[in-house]
Structure 1
Amino acid sequence: MSSSSKATPPPAGIYVPVPTFFAKEGTSAYNSITPGLDLATQTEHSLFLVKAGIRGLVILGSTGEAIFIRDEERKELIASQRKALDEAGYKDRPIIAGTATQQIDDTLAMIEASKEAGAEFAMVLGPGYFAPATSQVGIQKWFEAVADKSVLPVMIYHYPGVTNNLYIAPSTFEKLAAHANIVGCKLSHGIVDDQTLIAASPNIDHAHFSVFTGLGQNLLPVLTIGGVAAIDGLAGVFPSVVVKLFDMYNTSVAKGISQSDLQEMRLLQFKICQGEKLVAKYGVIGIKEAIARVWGMGDQKGGRLPLAGGFEDANEWSKWEEIYTGLQKLEEKFRAESKSN
């Protein structure tokens, strides 16, 4: 792709890194090591999200247990959700497909398969196996090599927690943002100064390169420094709650933020932060537990090994129940308001 024909970033909004739902014990597709996909629940959850205003889905990111998914399952999963969204009237909701490979050719093959299945963007996890020995130049060249040949626009996925603490410097993001086929990043860390140095950088064309936080607990701060929104785990449980904060911010900016607007947004961000503590502590295990307990979708023990089994402590959910009951009431309130408007 030439520099004169830059790819376009995903539309601004709230995206969900969806969990991959697996067959429940007692069903024909179940086995205790690698239970099969549960596409019916996957679709139920996808439609639950987009009906609440979620702008798009990230399929097979970290929350989607991408490293445990076989190639043929990747195609089946993406294709089934693209078909479900299209048939339900949500053709405008893009699918971003994650990759979590170290080898460039494998990454490119995975991106090509994702496109064939219906994905519109690729979210590429940094190569962290040799993180302590990897230079910023090496990181830059790795992503550029992927982006040069990728059949989908590339988003850089920076998640030190699953990449051996690989660090991608803001200056490296500035260089990568100039690539015609690199259209944004997901920053799944809490380094606010680095987020600012990317999202507010005057050296980046922000019409071409969008900054998404991977942490809903950072949504309001990230919006104020130039980020476009979030790819957020809690939004997989309470989509309307997270979308509400995004909409409130953009509406208030358009008309002029009042003190009451600011107080309302701070309170909603506070409640989101309370819920995000479970996501931060347990990741996909906590997200699946919450979706199953709050909405009855899927199985809180529905991961693949070594994540199968859910919470080890049978009393763990009781520690979060009050917070999640409050968020559920907010979710139902915002959904009702949306339907009446």
Structure 2
Amino acid sequence: MNGHTNGVNGSASSRVLTPGIFAPIPTFFLPDTEDLDLESFAAHVVRLAKANVRPLVSGSMGEAIHLTHAERTTLIKTARAALDGAGFADVPIVAGTGAGSTRETVALCHEAAAAGADFVIVITSGYFAGALTRDALKAYFVEVSEKSPLPVIIYNYPGASGGIDLDSDLITEIAEQCPNTAGVKLTCGNVGKLTRICATVSETAFATSHPRKNANAPFLVLGGFADFILPSTYANGHGAIIGLGNVAPHACARVFELSVASLADAALLPEAQRLQGIVARGDFTIAKASISGTKFLLEKLYGYGGRPRKPLPPIAPAAADALWAHPHVQELVAAERELSGKTAP
């Protein structure tokens, strides 16, 4: 892979985890069989890379819960081959590896490394949420990070983990005590939590006092929604992992770029605020349509998307028409077309 290595056999990935925008890539399926549509998947990964948006494979948006281990491996290999073939050999791949048990999660981490992923993102299992104490949750991430051959990003998403919501103290403790952790994604949408975590891990002293196992994997604090990219930058956050990055990659990446640049040049702040508003309104509207709505928009915009894997239903025709016609969506589409240099309807 052009001289790059992943975490197989203990070798550290040479690809660097840097602040920015990541998108949880949808898994596309063939309409008649629900088999993987690898052609659309590869094309989409490259499309986002060209917009400076990096891929997260087999996440929530990717319907990881509907995928077999073999399919997850296939998607990682397909993404790596597509990126390398398009001249993006330096773009890292983050793979979702959270599962029902600690044992299976660790196994998925090893499989992701063998397939060519560079980092993993791990959600807590919510099936027995009521029985998972604070100590049990901490023990889960400690064990997974110790046994994973790849750096681990903590995934805090109460909506997909039985309501489990890791607090800022616990996340900070894990970051301090587990050198193979490389960040956290906050799909709880809690900006206060993000600020508190950043107050510790984004300080220069943190990297000195708590060095990472892999020097290419600093601890990043990433939002899980597109509506607080700008505020999180001013709290010393590091970007976001967002589903909207699939629909409007140029717009999302531009908000982050302007946000960072405005720290040094305040004259850029009004434009950052303007575009953040467009992205935030679009994200709020599209997120309510979930995976099926995002896939519909991708079909509308780029010619691929299709349906979710059953039992998830497709978006209803009337809801799809209303989503496309929504002024917040149309405003976002117009901004994306302008930033990408495309004006076609």
The residue type equivalent to 1:189 in the other structure is: C
Question: What TM-score, normalized by structure 1, do the two folds share?
Answer: 0.88
Residue by residue over 1:232-269, the C-alpha shift from the partner in whole angstroms, topping out at 9 and shown as x without a partner, is 11111110000111111112213x313xx322212111
Residue by residue over 1:98-154, the C-alpha shift from the partner in whole angstroms, topping out at 9 and shown as x without a partner, is 023121111111111111111000100112222233222211111001111101100
**Contiguous gaps of at least 5 residues in structure 2:** 1-6, 212-217
Q: Contact 2:25–2:57 at 8 Å: present in 1 too? A: yes
Distance 2:107 2:288 in 1: 33
**Contiguous gaps of at least 5 residues in structure 1:** 25-29
- Structure 1 residue aligned with 2:339: 334
Residue by residue over 1:74-102, the C-alpha shift from the partner in whole angstroms, topping out at 9 and shown as x without a partner, is 11111011011001110111110002312
- Secondary structure of residue in 1 paired with 2:163: coil
Please point out which of 257, 263, 266 is paired with 2:270.
263
- Secondary structure of residue in 2 paired with 1:171: helix
Q: Contact 2:297–2:324 at 8 Å: present in 1 too? A: no
Q: Contact 2:102–2:140 at 8 Å: present in 1 too? A: yes
1:104 paired to 2:140: no
Distance 1:273 1:209 in 2: 25
Question: What TM-score, normalized by structure 2, do the two folds share?
Answer: 0.87
- Secondary structure of residue in 2 paired with 1:314: helix
Q: Contact 1:233–1:279 at 8 Å: present in 2 too? A: no
- Structure 2 residue aligned with 1:251: 261
Distance 2:236 2:202 in 1: 13
The residue type equivalent to 2:151 in the other structure is: P
1:160 paired to 2:158: yes
| Map 1:1-341 → 2, pairs under 5 A | 10-24=17-31, 30-31=32-33, 35-54=34-53, 56-178=54-176, 179-201=178-200, 205=206, 208-254=218-264, 256-258=265-267, 261-299=268-306, 302-308=307-313, 310-312=314-316, 314-321=318-325, 322-336=327-341
Q: Contact 1:9–1:209 at 8 Å: present in 2 too? A: no
Query: Number of residue pairs matched?
Result: 319
Q: Which moved more, 1:199-208 or 1:103-112?
A: 199-208
Distance 2:232 2:103 in 1: 34
Deviation at 1:315, TM superposition (A): 4.1
The residue type equivalent to 1:119 in the other structure is: A
Q: Which moved more, 1:130-139 or 1:218-227?
A: 130-139
- Structure 1 residue aligned with 2:3: none
Q: Contact 1:67–1:100 at 8 Å: present in 2 too? A: no
The residue type equivalent to 1:252 in the other structure is: S
The residue type equivalent to 1:195 in the other structure is: L
Q: Percent identity?
A: 33
Distance verdict in 2 for CA 1:36–1:202, change over 3 Å: closer
The residue type equivalent to 1:295 in the other structure is: Y
Distance 1:116 1:138 in 2: 28
Q: CA RMSD in A?
A: 2.2
The residue type equivalent to 1:72 in the other structure is: A
Distance 1:9 1:137 in 2: 31
The residue type equivalent to 1:141 in the other structure is: A
Q: Contact 1:6–1:181 at 8 Å: present in 2 too? A: no
Q: Which moved more, 1:230-239 or 1:323-332?
A: 323-332
Distance 2:298 2:202 in 1: 41
Deviation at 1:320, TM superposition (A): 4.0
- Secondary structure of residue in 2 paired with 1:93: coil
Q: Contact 2:286–2:323 at 8 Å: present in 1 too? A: no
Deviation at 1:318, TM superposition (A): 2.4
Distance 1:203 1:316 in 2: 41
